């Protein structure tokens, strides 16, 4: 089954809706936050939007997309993703391998990306928050 989008504006609207769902302060559906399926769809939509922006606006479109895509601590989505991660991680977070933690962080911040420096910082901040919340069980999906 394929979803047919009629225009790049429809891809942008759907990407905005997915992003709003993932980065809501009080998410309605916690499964959306670390869903591999939602991440794949969001990444594909992001690619469509990026390509269209570059085609339509050239260097300005590319720069606007780069600014939007790379997540940094100053952005609201950074803190929201950390809060969601901390509420999901529980005591098992410390038992996850580095690869598993990296995967989960990428799912949490999708459709945004993290530079290596900011990925390390995000994981460190999440480590600290999960250690403080060691009484709860992990709600992250199994690998």
Q: Per-residue confidence at 1, pLDDT binned at 50, 70, 90? A: low
Residue with tokens 């720069």: 63
pTM: 0.85
pLDDT digits (tens, 9 = 90+) for 56-106: 999 999 999 999 999 999 999 999 999 999 888 876 788 889 999 999 999
List Cβ neighbours of 90 (8 Å cut-off, separation of 6 or more). Answer: 130, 133, 134, 136, 137, 138, 139
**Per the structure block, which two tokens stand in for 74?**
């100053």
Mean pLDDT computed over every residue of the chain: 88
Nearest Cα neighbor of 89 from 143, 22, 135 is: 135
* Element counts in the chain: helices (H) and strands (E): 6, 0
In the three-class reduction of DSSP (H, G, I as helix; E, B as strand; rest coil), residue 137 is classed as coil
- The residue assigned the tokens 């990444």 is 43
Nearest to 106 by CA among 88, 119, 117: 119
Percent of residues, the chain, with pLDDT higher than 90: 69
Give mean pLDDT, residues 11-27. Answer: 93
pLDDT, residue 2, reads 72
């Amino acid at each position: 089954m394929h979803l047919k989008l009629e225009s790049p504006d429809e891809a942008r609207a759907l990407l905005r809706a997915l992003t709003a769902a993932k980065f809501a302060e009080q998410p309605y559906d916690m499964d959306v936050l670390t869903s591999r399926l939602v991440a794949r769809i969001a990444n594909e939509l992001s690619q469509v939007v990026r390509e269209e922006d570059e085609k339509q606006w050239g260097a300005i479109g590319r720069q606007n997309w780069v600014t939007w895509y790379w997540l940094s601590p100053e952005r609201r989505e950074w803190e929201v993703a950390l809060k969601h991660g901390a509420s999901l991680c529980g005591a098992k977070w410390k038992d996850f391998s580095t690869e598993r933690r990296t995967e989960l962080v990428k799912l949490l911040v999708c459709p945004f990306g993290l530079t290596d420096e900011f990925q390390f910082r995000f994981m460190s901040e999440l480590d600290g928050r999960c250690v403080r919340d060691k009484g709860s069980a992990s709600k992250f999906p199994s690998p």
